[in-house]
Amino acid sequence: MTPDALFWLVAAIAFVVLEASTTALVSIWFAVGAVAALVTSFFTRSLPVEGAVFAVVSAIALFIMVPTLNKRRKKREAPITNGSPLTIGKQGVVLVDVNPGYLGRVRVDGLDWQARSDVPMPQGTPCRVTDVDGAVLIVCPVTVETTATA
């Protein structure tokens, strides 16, 4: 490996390590440019040409990705929280007895949740999520009537 190729390899690794430590997309563009310069170093022994490839490829990567990232940053979608309304209407099973006034636990879609109910439900009872209060699911037992209305 030539000294130029070794230089660009070390530079690419350094830029990737810097990017991994900041996670702010400040140096990944330069890592892409350093890899392009590394490839160029196998075909030419001219450091100015390799430097130009590094600068041009880094600039192109930057100008292509920045507008795309800005569009994504401007999307202000509400985050989905643990007690997401996405669970309303889903069925689960009681893991720990749910009694009025006390929290129990249920499993819905393979995830365990704290749960509350107005009626007692022993462990193993099939249940349906009717509402969400923070990260606590409000559940009712699954009966013939609740199955027919769902």
The CATH number for 120's domain is 2.40.50.140
Same domain, 58 and 106: no
Band of pLDDT at residue 84, cut at 50, 70 and 90: low
Domain boundary among 46, 74, 102: 74
| Predicted pLDDT at 120 | 93
Buried-exposed string 54-66: b where 16+ CB fall within 10 A, e elsewhere: beebbeebeeeee
Band of pLDDT at residue 74, cut at 50, 70 and 90: confident
Q: How many domains does the chain have?
A: 2
Q: Is residue 34 over pLDDT 80?
A: yes
Find how far residue 139's CA is from the centre of its chain. 28
Same domain, 68 and 126: no
Query: Rounded to two decimals, what is the model's pTM?
Result: 0.49
Query: Are 82 and 135 in contact, with CB atoms under 8 Å apart?
Result: yes
Tell me which residue of 5, 13, 12 sits closest to 47, measured CA to CA.
5
Expressed as residue numbers, the domain containing 55 is 3-74
Q: Show the DSSP H helices in the chain as ranges.
A: 3-22, 28-41, 47-74, 144-149
Per cent of the chain over pLDDT 90 is: 53
Same domain, 65 and 89: no
Look at the block and give the residue holding tokens 């690794």.
13
Query: Are 141 and 121 in contact, with CB atoms under 8 Å apart?
Result: yes
Same domain, 118 and 64: no
Q: Highest mean pLDDT: which of 43-47, 84-88, 122-126?
A: 122-126
Band of pLDDT at residue 47, cut at 50, 70 and 90: confident
Same domain, 67 and 93: no
| Predicted pLDDT at 57 | 95
| Predicted pLDDT at 2 | 85
Distant-in-sequence, close-in-space partners of 115: CB < 8 Å, separation ≥ 6: 94, 98, 103, 104, 105, 106, 127, 136, 137, 138, 139
Question: What mean pLDDT, rounded, does the chain reach?
Answer: 86
Band of pLDDT at residue 55, cut at 50, 70 and 90: very high
Pairing of strands 111-116, 91-96: unpaired
Q: Is residue 9 over pLDDT 90?
A: yes
Q: Is residue 79 in a domain?
A: no
Domain boundary among 22, 43, 74: 74
Same domain, 67 and 119: no
| Predicted pLDDT at 143 | 79
Q: Is residue 43 over pLDDT 80?
A: yes
